[in-house]
Structure 1
Amino acid sequence: MSTKPFVLSAEEVVRFNEEYLNKTPEEILELAFSTVENIAFACSFGAEDVALVDMIVKVNPQAKVFYLDTNLLFPETHEVKNRIVEKYSPNLIKYTPLLTLDEQAEQRGDQLWASDPNGCCGIRKVEPLKRALSELDAWITGIRREQSPTRADAGVVELDTKFNLVKFNPIALWTEKQVWDYIVQHEVPYNKLHDQGFPSIGCIPCTRAVKPGEDPRAGRWANHEKTECGLHQ
């Protein structure tokens, strides 16, 4: 990744984070778009992200929104993507892995997601994300503190040292109930897998439904010592 300087100083990020910690997501988005011109929203089409699309197109209809098509997404994910496009016409950009699934199998073995899930995520998610972020100065995400221990300290504005960008997390402090209340109130299209016990949705081989009482991200990379794909670590 580039070693270009951050578009905001560490002092500015601390000040903005303190000032906007209890502001609305829309106010945080307005801050993001008014302070950084070269910015985009990373959308997975999960519940948090479709809610943010609704907010973003209202705050800045021309804002860039990108997604990663790993070639392993659920049909339901493609379906909600199509409904989002139909309703909002966002400035949507698709990034795909450099390797097809057949090329990956030839180079790294069949079903790499089972033998080396980190390696598979590296090829199908992290590398495309690096390409997407390489020309940006900041990005917007839908991560929330209560999603997992690794996200418990997420600020609404951060310095993302992994990708050398400023990172805005407008709904970092939101609860799951707030997300769904927003979706219902604003009639936002959402992934129907959420109605079938999938609170967190990734690629088909590495996502299962969550049982009652389980952690919301227990359905991701089940049976592996892995809780993140590498995008937010």
Structure 2
Amino acid sequence: MTQFNHDIEALNAELSTKSPREILKFALSNFNNIAISFSGSEDVVLIELAHKLANPLQVFSLDTGRLHPETYRFIDKVRKHYKIDIETMSPQPDKLQELTKEKGLFSFYEDGHAECCGIRKIEPLRRKLATVDAWITGQRKDQSPGTRSNVAVVEVDEAFSTEDKRLIKFNPLANWTSEEVWNYIRMSEVPYNELHEQGYISIGCEPCTRPVLPNQHEREGRWWWEEATQKECGLHVGNIEK
């Protein structure tokens, strides 16, 4: 396990003034066992920035089994474009079968998305994070002003740390806006999900994602039947039960 004894608050203050590339360079140079979380959306920016800094890259994606066909094709396109392995983490079949047998395939429309996301996203993520010392995400403050406005550039991931391991989480794009992300995507001519051309901005599972209208915030296309303060799947919330 990597020894990382930095004062996180001081380090966050220092890195907050740095570019995403500088933050990634720090993260990749200080951790040998660190993984990039790739959601099949704008996280491709992380891979574009990082693939010249480290070889090989450790990249993973959560395959919930309910993603759009375009997202699966995009994940494979990124794998081929950068010549990298992308590990797909899938839900435990027995837990998934139990849920769908008891409640069907669309129970989240009736009782909220937390249970489904817990099985399809959180458990596979916890399984992956148990194998690394740090991880890198594409979280940004502007993605959801109600829940992500305080996203730090580097933090201790209290949700997935254990008594035996302090898990470190880097969010190199925290201070970038959606406009900056897309300017970079266009400038670098990197692959992107075809769904973005159909009005999708924040892309998750197919049943829980829809295009947004002009002037709507991107998170309004996620779990639209729920309150705005509930529009998180639990991957980035610090009060998840371990």
TM-score when scaled to structure 1?
A: 0.92
2:208 aligned partner: 206
1:126 aligned partner: 122
Kindly report structure 1 stretches of 4+ aligned residues shifted beyond 6 Å. none
- Secondary structure of the structure 2 residue equivalent to 1:82: helix
1:59 aligned partner: 53
Question: Quick one: which of 24, 27, 36 aligns to 1:29?
Answer: 24
Identity of aligned residues (%): 44
1:95 aligned partner: 89
1:43 aligned partner: 38
Question: Quick one: which of 93, 100, 104 aligns to 2:99?
Answer: 104
Answer yes or no: is the 8 Å Cα contact 1:197–1:211 preserved in 2: yes
Q: Does 1:145 align with 2:141?
A: yes
- Secondary structure of the structure 1 residue equivalent to 2:117: helix
Residue deviations 1:68-98, cap 9 Å, x none?
1001000110111111111102232110001
> What's the offset of the Cα at 1:102?
5.0
1:169 aligned partner: 171
**1:173-188 equivalences in 2 (<5 Å):** 173-188=175-190
> What's the offset of the Cα at 1:104?
3.2
Answer yes or no: is the 8 Å Cα contact 2:109–2:225 preserved in 1: no
RMSD over aligned Cα atoms: 1.8
2:155 aligned partner: 158
Counterpart residue type for residue 61 of structure 2: Y
Question: What is the CA–CA distance in structure 1 between the aligned matches of 2:140 and 2:79, rounded to whole Å?
Answer: 24
Q: Where does the alignment leave 5 or more consecutive residues of structure 1 unmatched?
A: none
Answer yes or no: is the 8 Å Cα contact 1:95–1:132 preserved in 2: yes
> What's the offset of the Cα at 1:110?
3.6
- Secondary structure of the structure 1 residue equivalent to 2:91: coil
- Secondary structure of the structure 1 residue equivalent to 2:221: coil
Answer yes or no: is the 8 Å Cα contact 1:113–1:205 preserved in 2: no
> How many matched pairs?
227
Question: Quick one: which of 56, 69, 74 aligns to 2:68?
Answer: 74
Counterpart residue type for residue 34 of structure 2: I
Q: Where does the alignment leave 5 or more consecutive residues of structure 2 unmatched?
A: 162-166, 238-242
